[in-house]
Amino acid sequence: MAKLIINIGTEANDGTGDPIRSAMVKANSNFTEVYDLIDDITIPSVPTDLTDLGIADGTDGQVLTTDGDGAFTFTTVASGSGGDYDDADAIAAVVGADLDMGGNKVLFSNVYDAVEDLPSASSYHGLFAHVHGTGAAYFAHAGAWVELQNAGGGGSLPSRTSASGSTASLADDASGDLDLTGFKTYSLLTITTDRAAWVRIYANVATRTADNSRGEGTDPAPDAGVIAEVITAGAETVIVSPGVIGFNLESTPTTSIPCRVTNKSGATSAVIVTLNLLQLEA
């Protein structure tokens, strides 16, 4: 039936429109046709399990995968939370596993103790991660981990922090390498030792190695890659004044700060070195 139009006249109460009864008859006929159409609609049942979609059940330690052409299967993963992945809501609970969707990965965020523990950024493009050691969040982009700063917003500046580590046990007047975890670029404010020591800080591992034969009291060449050095008489803090800008100069910059430490305590011992730093680069 075609829709019945009620004639409302040209102006209010001009007597040219449909009488009230005729107008209501048209309205009822229109509503009857609409309700008849609704009665003919079949509402499909909502699937409650993957088997309702024609997908076989999985088992513990598996995640749902697809070949990109609509074929779904379950794949065993090396890591994850375990449990029953038969239902769609349980699949979403998998943590630390990759869900392969036709060549694209759905990645789940993870937490790491140190920056060095982060997986290859090139293999985990798009992954967010939190690192306990720096207290920062990172995002894998273009083959590198990008530190996300000031996510709370508003232009706040980073606070100064400390990078600390201990050498292996060293005989008196013996030297050892020490790598501290800091920042790619930083301002060095103080150097602290827990006993008498000669501490040298370098731009990269190569410059540290090249400087091994330099004697105490001999100044390094201007391009030797020495960021700073101090000689302490015991447990003390040396103020680096004015503050020095340090940086990592590896081919791919990292947050590692290469150091060389000589034990001058008069006895065999490890030496603890602490740097007070202000981060200058993400």
Longest dimension (CA), the chain: 118
181-207: per-residue pLDDT in tens? Answer: 999 999 999 999 999 999 999 999 999
Give the range among 8-17, 106-115, 173-182 with minimum mean pLDDT: 106-115
Residue 95 confidence class, pLDDT cut points 50, 70, 90: very low
Residue 267 has pLDDT above 80, yes or no: yes
**What are the residue ranges spanned by the domains of the chain?**
1-43, 50-148, 161-279
- Architecture in CATH for domain 161-279: Sandwich (2.60)
How many residues are present in the chain? 282
145-181: per-residue pLDDT in tens? Answer: 888 765 444 456 788 999 999 999 999 999 999 999 9
